[in-house]
Structure 1
Amino acid sequence: MERGSDEAELLEKTKLIIWDEAPMTHKHAFQALDKSCKDVLKSNSLFGGKVFVFGGDFRQILPVIKKGSRQQIVNVSLCSSYIWHHCRVLKLTRNLRLTIGQPSANIKETKKFYKWLLDIGEGKIGGPNEGTAKIEIPDDFLVEQCDDPIIKLIQFVYPDILNSSQDPTYFQQRGLLAPTNDVVHEINDCLLELFPGDLVEYLSSDSVAKSDYIDGNVDPTLYSTEILNGLKIFGLPNHKIMLKVSVLVMLLRNIDKKRDYATELGFRLFLWVRM
């Protein structure tokens, strides 16, 4: 960035710069920008005298260091940079998303829950530890003993789902988090079983296009049907999907983005399956 360029002129006019997800960024990125701002703005003040707001949460993912130890990861984070000594820490104290428009009884229970989560993140539960601790989960956060805990959880999160599934607002405040994709598929299969109707099976193509062949020949052992059907790729559906008429599905990605303006904007579209 040279003084007199469009970027430099824009930087000179800027009053406030917001850097989101700052804890995930290597400290050298901040320090490089600090030196660039000083050179462009001809000032020895931090960032050339410009005001920066670093947003983020240190409880989330820190900078990724390949095979790095805890000390190495902390050493490259923002809090280990000389810039950190000039930062003023501001904390959010009110969860607007979970409290606005909610009854006082629900707000009390919600605060109790997210305080418990924050205490876990800050290491206040489980006693002193070196990264491993046993945490006692309160009874009201657990699924009671039953024959099928997944069905019990579905009934708790989605009560009367058969009669309410066609209400567009029904799913807006409800959701299930799962640790792995296998658990997601298991929950989806349980939900499908609850809806009336016949399951329809859809299979993806399980062969290699001829355009991918080398000199017209391909080793069939490299692209066996079992391997192709077992691939689980992020952002793409599995080889086999099961659907029912009028069961709600979520479209996460459209491969043909040029023909779908809404997907280009990053919107998640809800579609009804009609067969």
Structure 2
Amino acid sequence: MEIRQMYKWGWGENETSTFANWILNIGEGKVGGLNDGETIIDIPYDILITDSSDPIGSLITFVYPSIIENANNPMFFRERAIPASKNEVVQEINNRLLSLFPGDEKEYLSSDSVCHSDFVHDDFDKSLYSPGVLNGLRPSGFPIHKLVLKVGVPVMLLRNIDQYGLCNGTRLRVIALGKRVIEAEIISESNIGKHTFISRM
């Protein structure tokens, strides 16, 4: 798929709907003419990243302008997001955004050893379950091995914890980082402003 710059995007009252329909049409192969596996997609100028030296920095600046000044404004984060197609890109964007926030980082690590009681036989190959292998696993819906957070950063849940407030996709803002629990304020869905505690799982 080839991507090129296009005319200035005509943002108006229906900009969100227009953009959503454009994205859906790309996904359904309705943009760019006949699509036999290769096509040319014209990107609207208003959403085009023109800085090839630091495209992620440009994207962050565009989506989150004056991020530090708005760090305590839940509405600022509720209305913004950067979608990405690969977990590696998500992690790179997250690392860059995290570095912009003041304060100390807190690191949370997943379990990286195998419980022997899960095996019937004692002769299993331990090298198959080394910490390096376990830390590199990226199953869908699970966070990476090392989760780094700061107070004030926005986060999104990746699983359902409570159907009445803490569901997959719920956005929160970190209030406090404990050893085994994170205090956060809900900034989306129906319980906006409510504080909650998320324990290690």
Q: Would you say same fold, with TM above 0.5?
A: yes
Q: Which amino acid aligns with 1:225?
A: P
Are residues 1:272 and 2:174 paired? yes
Question: Secondary structure of the equivalent of 2:34?
Answer: coil
Aligned to 1:245: 151
In 2, Cα distance between the equivalents of 1:124 and 1:161?
Answer: 36
In 1, Cα distance between the equivalents of 2:175 and 2:43?
Answer: 39
Match of 1:230 among 119, 136, 145: 136
In 1, Cα distance between the equivalents of 2:34 and 2:84?
Answer: 28
Aligned to 1:196: 102
In 2, Cα distance between the equivalents of 1:113 and 1:269?
Answer: 22
Which structure's residues are more often helix, by fraction?
Answer: 1
Deviation at 1:236, TM superposition (A): 1.5
In 1, Cα distance between the equivalents of 2:166 and 2:20?
Answer: 34
In 2, Cα distance between the equivalents of 1:156 and 1:200?
Answer: 27
In 2, Cα distance between the equivalents of 1:144 and 1:262?
Answer: 42
Deviation at 1:122, TM superposition (A): 6.4
Are residues 1:212 and 2:114 paired? no
Cα contact 1:248–1:273 (8 A) shared by 2? no
Using the aligned pairs only, state the percent identity.
Answer: 47
Deviation at 1:177, TM superposition (A): 0.8
**Superposition map of 1:29-108 within 5 A:** 106-107=12-13
Question: Secondary structure of the equivalent of 2:133?
Answer: helix
Cα contact 2:153–2:173 (8 A) shared by 1? no
Normalised by the length of structure 1, the TM-score is: 0.52
In 2, Cα distance between the equivalents of 1:113 and 1:261?
Answer: 30
Normalised by the length of structure 2, the TM-score is: 0.69
Aligned to 2:197: none
In 2, Cα distance between the equivalents of 1:108 and 1:137?
Answer: 18
| Structure (1 or 2) with the larger CA radius of gyration | 1
Output the aligned Cα RMSD: 2.9
**Superposition map of 1:74-223 within 5 A:** 106-107=12-13, 109-110=15-16, 113-114=19-20, 116-117=22-23, 120=26, 125-223=31-129
In 1, Cα distance between the equivalents of 2:17 and 2:153?
Answer: 34
Deviation at 1:118, TM superposition (A): 5.8
User: Matched residue pairs, number?
Assistant: 168
In 2, Cα distance between the equivalents of 1:127 and 1:105?
Answer: 23
Q: 1:110 to 1:269 in 2, by over 3 A?
A: closer
Q: Which amino acid aligns with 2:172?
A: F
Is there any run of 5+ residues in structure 1 with no aligned partner, and where?
1-103
Q: Which amino acid aligns with 2:124?
A: V
In 2, Cα distance between the equivalents of 1:132 and 1:146?
Answer: 23
In 2, Cα distance between the equivalents of 1:148 and 1:105?
Answer: 25
| More displaced stretch, 214-223 vs 239-248 | 214-223
Q: 1:204 to 1:217 in 2, by over 3 A?
A: same
Q: 1:154 to 1:214 in 2, by over 3 A?
A: same
Cα contact 2:78–2:171 (8 A) shared by 1? no
